[in-house]
Structure 1
Amino acid sequence: MDPVTIIALVDTCLGLISLGIKVVQLCKTWKGADEEVKERVVIVESVWDRTRHQAEVVKGIASDMNDESRRIMGDVLDQLSFHLSRAMNTLAAVTKKNSHGQPHLFGFGSRAKKAAWVWKKDAVDDIIRNLEEWQRRFDPTWFLQLHNPNPLIDNALAKARVSEAKPSGLPTVAKNPLAVAAGLRGVLAPKPEETKTVFLPDSPMEWRSIPFSSMKTGRLLRANDTRWYIVDTIEVGPAARVRDIARDVGVLATKLSRTDPLAFGLLNCKGVMAVPRQNTAPSGISGQVQAVSLSPPAPDSSLRSPSPCQRDYSCFKLVFRIPQGMETLPVQSLRQLLLSSDARISLTRKVCIARELAKAVNYVHTFAFVHKNIRPESILCFGDAQASHSGSGSGSSAVFLAGFDAFRAADANTIMAGDVGWERNVYRHPLRQGYDPAERYRMQHDIYSLGVALLEIGLWESFVEYTTATATTEDGEAGGGPPQTKLGRTHDHFQEWLRASRAGTQQDGGGKGDFLAAFAFRLKDYLVEQARTRLAPRMGDKYARVVLSCLTCLDEDNEDFGGAEAADPSDGAAALCFIEKILKDLDEISV
């Protein structure tokens, strides 16, 4: 523990708080200005109030953070100090213009008033933009500190929450950051009795499919209930350890019940239903099947959490709330967008999707899980495909990571089994491909999968294609069932690349396992080459570097993540590296 860095971080927090208070006080002097300026000043006060509370907590836990966390936190706080100092100068300049500026404007009529309004509005808009951008960079490091079991963090949170507004309904990071932090801290290691409360009784639902995704939207079949939910199914294999799966699903649902979707890129979980194997109903696009009741379970023992040691289950269904303000927006899988939308989709939109996806992956790891299924089928996009920003409301768009059918706790045992399907293996690290993966799954494998997805987004080419069913039944449904994956253009281009490079097509005297391993590593080489040669002209050098860093995160010469011999990511080193090298670089892309 370096006392110098502790003192430096505390001093930074104190200076930051003092500077922020001065900026807000200056803005308050304009509350009597035009109504639009007044509204912006209120936003500044709200955003700063959140930042001040979090800075107070950081000051209180500085001595308990490791040196690397303090360094990164200090760098981020220094960035905000710079922005606030610049804001002070801007506000002072605008104030001076108003009082001593050009008398021919400020002394007479509407022209003077209009000029003053424009200057004030632009100055406050700049402060809001800088605060919000900074907050996006600060939050990942902030929430990562919640893993530390030291009660000093609980004391700091409790002390800071005294002055925080009490949330009505589900707390959000924008309005109640300390309430969200305290809630997440309470469920990062939930007790068994806490996980039982997320299991819900059965109820019939109406279903709608989400094209090219295993997830569906569902609505309870009861009067006056028009709410729709996203339902994510986790299948239970015949030889699976039901007790372990039920425990992990309960923990996952408990953690996701405390998420703020827009802040974390992960949908908020209402609960989970366990479907007994003998009662499994066939799934379909519509109709009634066993599903969930969204009312709290009654104390009746028949509605309590299922006991995996007493019954067998065919699947678990995670029920997610649709974010507030997005209930009427269309929802599509990213795969659907890649297959059907215009290839000329804006650079701004692609960067936005990339940022949101990387953010969601970071928070999956913050919650101590590995996803194991990061691909466009698991990514949901609400709203206009051409929208350039995240948010809620008409005309906006947001991206969320779901598809938790292969997840597991980061510190849990893993089943060393796989498959050879192109549609999944193209997103898997070579050491995780095939029927018998060579390495236990860890967080860096998710980072590799993210790199493949970011490459796909940057090129805006679907690496997986599907058949189209033309035959229909009397009910109008596709007679051949849902579309099936097929080997498409990316696979064909990879095969051409293999032939041209005269590698990967021979077994070199080895067995089938050797050939599959060589094939897997050649696929990685191909993706790396695509990132190096094709990505920068489309997305810029910084984006291309991010993708290459993800794709090579387990390579020995990767300087960002330390390669295959890097420390166990459970110690937070990989998470900090991801925040600094991936999230930060994506945030700094200016479009």
Structure 2
Amino acid sequence: MDPVSVAFASVSMAELCIKYKNAEKELQQIILEIEGYWLKIEDQVTFLKDHWSSLGERYQVHQNQVLQELQSTLQNAIYVLDNLLGKPEEISKWQKLVSKPGEPSRVRYVLYAKTSLDRIIIQLERWHRQFDPSWFLLSRMSDSILSRDFESSRDSDSSAISTIAKLREAHEESQTMLMPSPSSSVFLGKDYELRDIETIPLGHSSMGLTEDGRRVIVDHYSLRNAVDLNTAKKDVRDLASILSKVDPSFSSLLPCEGVIRTDNPSESESHFRMIFTIPRTLSYSTPSSLRSLLLQKNQSYELNERVHLAVSLARSVVFLHASRIVHKNITPENIILLQSKGENLGTPFLVGFERFRFDERRTNMMGDDNWEKNLYRHPQRQGLQPEEVYKMRHDIYSVGVCLLEVGLWSSFVQYTENNQVAGPDSELPIDSLVGEKNKRRAAAEINAILVEKARSTLPQLMGKIYTDVVVSCLNYLDRDNPLFSSKSDFEDEDGITVGVKYIEKVGITALSLAEANISIYKGSVRN
């Protein structure tokens, strides 16, 4: 049987649960959890199988590898259960063996089973996080059969399939040149009110309360030079429409519930305010910017939490790029964290869309000389007159700088007590370069300092896998970067090749491996 067929020949978790329905109650619960994960992905796996010939070669190779990992995990679950419970006709013998409370054999069986199956659940959860970003890319594939079948699946019972169907619909709408009307659904009416609006400390977004008392995140978008109001209105409408379809649990982005338009903004107001919904489970915490947390050097967070933050940030960028959205402003000020009960660091969400653009649309090639912003920009995108148009791959450089700070748990930018930028961190020797007249040379030297800091300091703190991810992001556009052998790697029609390579090499897969590495050794990072 060929590898693709093997990958799709996964066991039915429903049948598995029926087979072991008389097992110990503790095991029953765990088996049901395994079935729950399978039900989440069964429709997705089936959809890929039915449309395999419509997928590009690079995408097929990637999914084949990912699906084989799924098959291995599911087969391991069957193996564990068969060894624990025996064949169906032998289950009664096993029940007699473990039926007496306190018997050593019963304790051994239950503890071994629970430990083994708990590990399988963790593997399935990690696999799903790895699989989701590549699933996003289906929203960009232009195959006619895919378009037809997704169109008919808009109201599918599978949230994963219906989400992609709605995203494709939003993408198609954004390609039209129709201007948004005042009645466009993403624009909120004048009766929509916000109160108690406060800026998130050391963040570029705000938080406020709706009329019904819900806490929301508010993003601000103002017109820049050479951008007319109608063009900006369409861009904001299309962005809000796409982000209204996101599922925060796997995109690490907050769903947009609408846009407030300000007809005659004053100097202190923005032209548009995008309103983002906070998930109910996270709505009781006060949002914090990543910058404010990085500056709290006396606060320590477990390695698992920091790597989870990194994985979530990578996932949000994959989602945006799959939707042809270039963020252009990925910094710790635009990453907010929300905590559910019992969480310490919390769940990160990427916000701050004031400078965004769609990849295929106009760009104004404008920059600035703010060193604290240029620090997160690729050397080709720094200064008043950047060398290159801002593209998706420049976002990946920004991610690399953020991941370096997260790995070191140190803020490269220091602030005064009045929340004003004070200067570079004392452990980042770039003071002399910040005021350098030759900005291009200074930018290249700062990049070299960041790469060297990653290579010399990160391995002992976060491990080799995490270090390689950061260095790959910081060297993303280098000609000798082995990840991209030719210019054509960036230029496939739908952006699928570069998306898959990002996921494979400098995105979810590598960071998930780092997360697994850290989980297994519980804080003792091994390479």
TM-score normalised by L of structure 2: 0.88
Residue of 499, 502, 512 corresponding to 1:578 = 502
Match of 1:522 in 2: 445
Match of 1:289 in 2: none
SS in 1 for 2:30: helix
- Paired with 1:579 and 1:25, the residues of 2 have a C-alpha distance of 33
Match of 1:87 in 2: 77
Matched, 1:276 2:268: no
Residue of 345, 351, 371 corresponding to 1:422 = 371
Q: What are the superposed Cα offsets for residues 279-299 of structure 1, whole Å, 9 maximum, x if unpaired?
A: 43846xxxxxxxxxxxxxxxx
- Paired with 1:194 and 1:94, the residues of 2 have a C-alpha distance of 61
SS in 2 for 1:533: helix
Q: CA deviation at 1:119?
A: 4.0
Match of 1:409 in 2: 358
Q: What are the superposed Cα offsets for residues 151-205 of structure 1, whole Å, 9 maximum, x if unpaired?
A: 322454478789x64xxxxxxxxx7222222222221222548882101123352
Match of 1:178 in 2: 161
Once the two structures are superposed, the pairs formed by residues 424-503 of structure 1 within 5 Å of their partners are 424-469=373-418, 483-490=419-426, 493-495=429-431
- Paired with 2:343 and 2:428, the residues of 1 have a C-alpha distance of 37
SS in 2 for 1:340: coil
Contact 2:180–2:233, Cα closer than 8 Å, also in 1? no
Q: What are the superposed Cα offsets for residues 23-50 of structure 1, whole Å, 9 maximum, x if unpaired?
A: 5423334444455433333322222122
Matched, 1:257 2:244: yes
Q: What are the superposed Cα offsets for residues 288-317 of structure 1, whole Å, 9 maximum, x if unpaired?
A: xxxxxxxxxxxxxxxxxxxxxxxxxx5211
Match of 1:213 in 2: 203
Contact 1:106–1:113, Cα closer than 8 Å, also in 2? yes
Match of 1:227 in 2: 214
Match of 2:313 in 1: 357
Match of 1:247 in 2: 234
Amino acid at match of 1:56: T
SS in 2 for 1:328: coil
Q: CA deviation at 1:67?
A: 0.8
Contact 2:154–2:166, Cα closer than 8 Å, also in 1? no
* Closer/same/farther in 2, CA of residues 540 and 419 from structure 1, 3 Å limit: same
* Closer/same/farther in 2, CA of residues 464 and 242 from structure 1, 3 Å limit: same
- Paired with 2:35 and 2:358, the residues of 1 have a C-alpha distance of 39
Q: What are the superposed Cα offsets for residues 116-156 of structure 1, whole Å, 9 maximum, x if unpaired?
A: 44344334423322222111111111221221232322454
Tell which deviates more after alignment, 529-538 or 180-189.
180-189
Contact 1:416–1:436, Cα closer than 8 Å, also in 2? yes
Amino acid at match of 1:335: R
* Closer/same/farther in 2, CA of residues 194 and 242 from structure 1, 3 Å limit: closer
Amino acid at match of 2:412: F
Contact 2:153–2:165, Cα closer than 8 Å, also in 1? no
Which runs of 5 or more residues in structure 2 are unaligned? 519-527
- Paired with 2:154 and 2:235, the residues of 1 have a C-alpha distance of 31
Residue of 8, 18, 21 corresponding to 1:28 = 18
- Paired with 1:563 and 1:487, the residues of 2 have a C-alpha distance of 38
Amino acid at match of 1:182: A
SS in 2 for 1:188: helix
Amino acid at match of 1:280: S
Amino acid at match of 1:228: R
SS in 2 for 1:212: coil
Contact 1:205–1:219, Cα closer than 8 Å, also in 2? yes
Contact 2:179–2:234, Cα closer than 8 Å, also in 1? no
Residue of 541, 544, 561 corresponding to 2:484 = 561
Q: What are the superposed Cα offsets for residues 301-354 of structure 1, whole Å, 9 maximum, x if unpaired?
A: xxxxxxxxxxxxx52111000012111022100001001253543222211111
Matched, 1:198 2:186: yes
Contact 2:222–2:354, Cα closer than 8 Å, also in 1? yes
Residue of 340, 343, 347 corresponding to 1:398 = 347
- Paired with 2:120 and 2:56, the residues of 1 have a C-alpha distance of 31
Residue of 456, 472, 490 corresponding to 1:533 = 456
* Closer/same/farther in 2, CA of residues 490 and 244 from structure 1, 3 Å limit: farther
Match of 2:98 in 1: 106
- Paired with 1:194 and 1:48, the residues of 2 have a C-alpha distance of 41
Residue of 21, 45, 67 corresponding to 2:35 = 45
Q: What are the superposed Cα offsets for residues 334-378 of structure 1, whole Å, 9 maximum, x if unpaired?
A: 001001253543222211111111111111101111010001000
Match of 2:122 in 1: 129
Q: CA deviation at 1:492?
A: 6.2
Match of 2:522 in 1: none
- Paired with 2:179 and 2:3, the residues of 1 have a C-alpha distance of 39
Q: CA deviation at 1:86?
A: 1.5
Contact 2:136–2:164, Cα closer than 8 Å, also in 1? yes
Matched, 1:56 2:31: no
Contact 2:253–2:350, Cα closer than 8 Å, also in 1? yes
Match of 1:477 in 2: none
Match of 1:333 in 2: 289
- Paired with 2:489 and 2:94, the residues of 1 have a C-alpha distance of 61
Residue of 56, 73, 78 corresponding to 1:66 = 56
Contact 1:91–1:123, Cα closer than 8 Å, also in 2? no
Amino acid at match of 2:509: K
- Paired with 2:85 and 2:441, the residues of 1 have a C-alpha distance of 67
Q: Highest Rg: 1 or 2?
A: 1
Once the two structures are superposed, the pairs formed by residues 144-159 of structure 1 within 5 Å of their partners are 144-157=137-150
Q: What are the superposed Cα offsets for residues 233-271 of structure 1, whole Å, 9 maximum, x if unpaired?
A: 012135432222111111100000000012101110001
- Paired with 2:440 and 2:414, the residues of 1 have a C-alpha distance of 24
Higher relative contact order (CA 8 A, sep 6+): 2
- Paired with 2:149 and 2:251, the residues of 1 have a C-alpha distance of 23
- Paired with 1:135 and 1:551, the residues of 2 have a C-alpha distance of 27
Q: What are the superposed Cα offsets for residues 529-582 of structure 1, whole Å, 9 maximum, x if unpaired?
A: 111111111111111111111111110100113477753265322111101102
Amino acid at match of 2:9: G
* Closer/same/farther in 2, CA of residues 433 and 446 from structure 1, 3 Å limit: same
Match of 1:546 in 2: 469
The runs of at least 4 consecutive aligned structure 1 residues that moved more than 6 Å come to: 100-104, 158-162
